[in-house]
Amino acid sequence: MSNTPKILAFAGSTRTASYNKMLVKIAASGAENAGAEVTYIDLRDLPMPLFDEDLEAAEGIPENVRKFKELMIAHQGILIASPEYNSSITPVLKNAIDWASRPAPGEAGLAAFNNKVAAIMSASPGGLGGMRGLVHLRSILGNINVMVIPDQKAISQAFQAFNPDGTLQDVKQQEAVQYLGAKLAGILAKLSA
């Protein structure tokens, strides 16, 4: 049996040229270099209806929500890059979290989040790099039993921060984001030892 940490990586954006998709892939590369198995997903590939208890009662958990939850349950760690919308997280990210928090019949509450460890980051065209949204994301995740590591990274002026290949122009920022992924992998390895 392998103790290789398994990490799910995604961005709270569905935009094709999302800075946060590029950012989370950098962190994922750091986690992989540290020995983790990383699965990257794009929330655009798993469209979910707006959370609605009446819809849930009438039709059950939507198929893409089930797929997302299965991925969450199968991984011990989470890397999330979250854009900042009006000083908070994006609707698509909040909706995915809300749906994933719903228990399936016979399933423990918060099964997709219990005992998970997460690293969070953000890239934004603004001067604060999405920092205000990360405060909300940290609070939400902490309240649903996810341990969020203290380290985080916010990349400001994102429209000029990335190279065409998706890496960061600033080598120190690139290393800091890779370190987030590596640190998460290291923590997970220690927890499973």
**pLDDT digit string, tens, across residues 120-140:** 999 999 998 999 999 999 999
Q: Report whether CATH 3.40.50.360 matches the domain 6-192.
A: yes
Least confident of 24-33, 35-44, 98-107: 98-107
pLDDT tens-digit series, residues 148-189: 999 999 999 999 999 999 999 999 999 999 999 999 999 999
Enumerate the β-bridge partners of residue 182: none
Residue 50 has pLDDT above 50, yes or no: yes
Mean pLDDT (whole number) for 10-31: 97
C-alpha distance from residue 96 to each of 12, 40, 43, 124 (Å) = 9, 15, 8, 21
Spell out the domain ranges in the chain: 6-192
pTM of the predicted model as reported, rounded to 2 decimal places? 0.96
Tokens read off for 5? 């940490």
CA 35 to CA 58: how far, in whole Å?
43
Residue that is written with structure tokens 């890397």 in the block: 79
C-alpha count within 13 angstroms, C-beta hemisphere, residue 193: 7
CA 77 to CA 35: how far, in whole Å?
13
- Residue 48 phi, psi (nearest 5): -125, 140
Dihedral, 111, 120, 128, 43 alpha carbons, nearest 10:
-60
Instruction: Report the side by side order of strands in the sheet with 37-40.
Output: 37-40, 6-11, 77-81, 117-123, 147-155
